Amino acid sequence: MSRQTEVLVIGGGSTGAGIARDLSMRGVGVTLVEQGNLTHGTTGRMHGLLHSGGRYAVSDQVSAAECIEENRVLRDIASHCVETTGGLFVKRPEDSEAYFQEKLDGCAASGIPTEVLSAEEARAVEPHLAPDIEKAISVPDGAVDPFRLVVANAASAREHGARIETHSTVTDIRVEDREVVGAELDHASGPGKHVHGTEGGTEIIRADHVVNATGAWAGRTGAMAGVDIEVRPSKGVMTVMNTRQVDTVINRCRPKGDADIIVPHETAAILGTTDEEVDDPEEYPEEQWEVDMMIDTLAELVPMLRDARTIRSFWGVRPLYEPPSVDSDDPTDITRDFFLLDHAERDALDGLTTIVGGKLTTYRLMAEAVSDHVCERFGVDADCRTADVSLPGSEEFSVLRDYMDEFDLRSPIGRRSVERLGSRADDVLETSGPNPTVCNCEAVTRAEIQDAVDQSGSDLNAVRLRTRASMGSCQGGFCCHRLAGELHDDHEEAVVREAWDDLLRERWTGQRHALWGEQLSQAMLNYALHATTQNRDNDPADGDPVDFGAFDAGVAADGGDQRGD
């Protein structure tokens, strides 16, 4: 089986979805393929920071300037994905006064607005800051929902004619006479896996041009075409707390290092991160000491973290790119700027472009650079409009949010739904039938679940990304079965059960490094509920029951100690 497209974009993270949107808005035919769900790679495993550029204002002012520009763009075009939290760079007594001044000077040079706050003024903003902090720099950081952002970009691309195919793994890049002419794909089958027109199996997609937007996997994808791409994957851990200990992004005002940021995100706070080079973007150790370090170090800024409840941890891999002219043993020294690799010019291989480096905040700028490049090759004379046209859900939402009282928002559930759906709220929530809450922690209603199912099929992890259902403090303990129940009327029993199992496995995996204190009690409750009321630990009708081995064995199987032991 084979078919043709003008441009094949490989990678369904923020950059790939942004490229698909940009090119399709310019009238170019696009097919985007992603090996898992949208945001499967780095995009879905980041701390949710909308950069002001302040983190790079000393070390990488080019990246800092790009960040503040794109920060302003995203607040406009993606307002339903962004929370304008603001940010603080906090100085402790042991932190350098000289570096504090360098941070101020770097922000000024990069066009980032700042304000110096005294310790008292900073604690007025964030009361739980440590009593011995000395002062802080206020910057326009924010929080962004990467899942919502990528889904909106994909939806916009599809509205403009693009084809979006998830669960489709590239197994080979086709090269003929020193020209890339397409790729071979393996389409997965199973719940929700073929909602975009594929039916599973192998397929060849021939393309006039291929864009490699696979981030940390870019080297592996390039190798299929016979080119060397010098990506240096760098892993980082993020730890999710069960409530928002802060409502402002808190950064440690010191040179880049581990455990130096807290990002308020929806109902939680995310602690980050580490920066350690790894050989493989998929196979690397996830260790308990990394989680412990996050909590212990960031408690120096917000002491209440020491006693707070951790609900899960996850690791992501940055797609750092080191040009051949640079040689550094420290991944923190590698620029966070992005690089467009024209393989026709670089490797005498036509038909392939790779985009590497960068960060989520600059995804749109990266997509614009790639789209300009491809359109120049195609002779397409069309301007980029992605900085001016709002994403689906954000049309007029910045105005609408100022007048939320016009909606029936007498409960937090109504307000949360509108904040997630943006300008789509009326269309989704206007229903003639009952609209009960399916996920209490995140206040997700049946109407939102059904809307997500309409978009993504029976894949409940795709539904989770679109709604945040099961991502709250109980980690799906009280709602996974409800989500599965929403599929029951329209799908066969086997499909529902497989989708349910996939969701339970994903939710359980992230809790393995959080089994102490109150979270251990919550995990035990979830286990008891799933095992005793649903027979999920030993279901005779299912030959592959959900693996609760992480609970039974603990995370200390390697001989280490669990936190609190």
Q: Does residue 515 share a domain with residue 451? A: yes
Q: Does residue 440 share a domain with residue 526? A: yes
Instruction: Find all residues with CB under 8 Å of 502, minimum gap 6, and list them.
Output: 191, 459, 460, 461
User: What mean pLDDT is reported for the chain?
Assistant: 90
What is the reported pLDDT for 229? 95
394 lies in a domain?
A: no
Q: Does residue 255 share a domain with residue 121? A: yes
What is the reported pLDDT for 565? 41
Convert the pLDDT of each residue in 210-243 to its tens digit. 999 999 999 999 999 999 999 999 999 999 999 9
Taking residue 207's Cβ as centre, other Cβ atoms within 10 Å add up to: 24
Task: Judge whether residue 351 has pLDDT over 60.
Answer: yes
Task: Judge whether residue 515 has pLDDT over 60.
Answer: yes
56 lies in a domain?
A: no
What is the reported pLDDT for 418? 87
Question: What integer is the mean pLDDT of 425-454?
Answer: 93
Residue 366 — very low, low, confident or very high, per pLDDT cuts 50/70/90? Answer: very high
Residue 29 phi, psi dihedral angles, 5° rounding: -75, 130
What is the reported pLDDT for 558? 44
DSSP H or E stretch at residue 16: helix 14-25
Residue 532 — very low, low, confident or very high, per pLDDT cuts 50/70/90? Answer: confident
Q: Does residue 546 share a domain with residue 498? A: yes
Compute the distance between CA of residue 539 and CA of residue 552 in angstroms, rounded to an integer. Answer: 17
Percent of the chain with pLDDT over 90: 77
Question: pTM (2 decimals)?
Answer: 0.91
Angle between the 412-421 and 446-456 helix axes, to the nearest 10 degrees?
A: 20
Question: What integer is the mean pLDDT of 353-367?
Answer: 97
* Least reliable range by pLDDT among 281-295, 322-336, 385-399, 427-441: 322-336
Q: Do the strands 30-33 and 82-83 form a parallel or antiparallel pair, or are they unpaired?
A: unpaired
Residue 301's domain is classified under what CATH number? 3.30.9.10
Which tokens hold the place of 107?
């922000």
Q: Does residue 22 share a domain with residue 100? A: no
Task: Judge whether residue 559 has pLDDT over 80.
Answer: no
Q: Does residue 491 share a domain with residue 363? A: no
Distance of CA 3 to the CA centre of its chain: 31
Percent of the chain with pLDDT over 70: 88
Q: Does residue 476 share a domain with residue 357? A: no
Q: Does residue 166 share a domain with residue 271? A: no
111 lies in a domain?
A: yes
218 lies in a domain?
A: yes
Residue 351's domain is classified under what CATH number? 3.50.50.60
Residue 311 — very low, low, confident or very high, per pLDDT cuts 50/70/90? Answer: very high
- Give me the torsion for CA of 17, 19, 21, 27, rounded to 10°: -150
Half-sphere exposure of 514 (CA within 13 A, CB side): 30
Residue 553 — very low, low, confident or very high, per pLDDT cuts 50/70/90? Answer: very low
Which tokens hold the place of 251?
């950064």
Question: What integer is the mean pLDDT of 174-189?
Answer: 96
Question: What integer is the mean pLDDT of 185-196?
Answer: 70
Q: Does residue 116 share a domain with residue 159? A: no
Q: Does residue 446 share a domain with residue 519? A: yes
With contact defined as beta carbons under 8 Å apart, do 464 and 444 qualify?
no
Domain that holds residue 95: 82-142+233-319
With contact defined as beta carbons under 8 Å apart, do 12 and 164 qualify?
yes
Task: Judge whether residue 397 has pLDDT over 70.
Answer: no
Q: How many domains does the chain have?
A: 3
Residue 251 — very low, low, confident or very high, per pLDDT cuts 50/70/90? Answer: very high
75 lies in a domain?
A: no
**SS3 helix, strand, coil % of the chain, rounded to 5?**
40, 20, 40
* Least reliable range by pLDDT among 435-439, 440-444, 545-549: 545-549
User: Following DSSP, what letter does each residue of 237-255 receive, concatenated?
Assistant: EEEEESS-S-SSEEEESSS
Question: What integer is the mean pLDDT of 19-23?
Answer: 98
Q: Cα dihedral sign for 133, 138, 139, 142? A: positive
Q: Cα dihedral sign for 172, 176, 177, 178? A: negative
